[in-house]
Amino acid sequence: MKMKSIIKIVSKVIFIVLLAIAAETAYAQPGGGGGGPGGSGGPGGTGNIPMDGGIGAFLIAGAAFGAKKIHSHYKKNKELK
């Protein structure tokens, strides 16, 4: 495989990882000072909705899918030579 194509693939993977990290930190903003009749957040005291492991699961699935694509691309190019 040519060095330029390896660099392109690695740079795309790094970009996707950085984008995922940026998206994750966008959800980690502090809650508002709100404070309605039930505590923080407003009426009924609902507060902040917790983010479960769904985002992490999507990140892991995306990384696995990307690794599979890179592997199959490498394997296909190796067979052609």
pLDDT, tens only, 12-51: 888 888 888 877 776 655 655 555 554 454 455 555 555 6
At residue 73, what is the residue type?
H
Contact 19, 25 (CB under 8 A): no
Of residues 21, 6, 4, the one with CA closest to residue 55:
21
Residue from 54, 47, 56 nearest 21 by CA: 56
The token pair that represents 39 in the structure block: 């505590």
pTM of the model: 0.37
Distance CA 32, CA 61 (A): 32
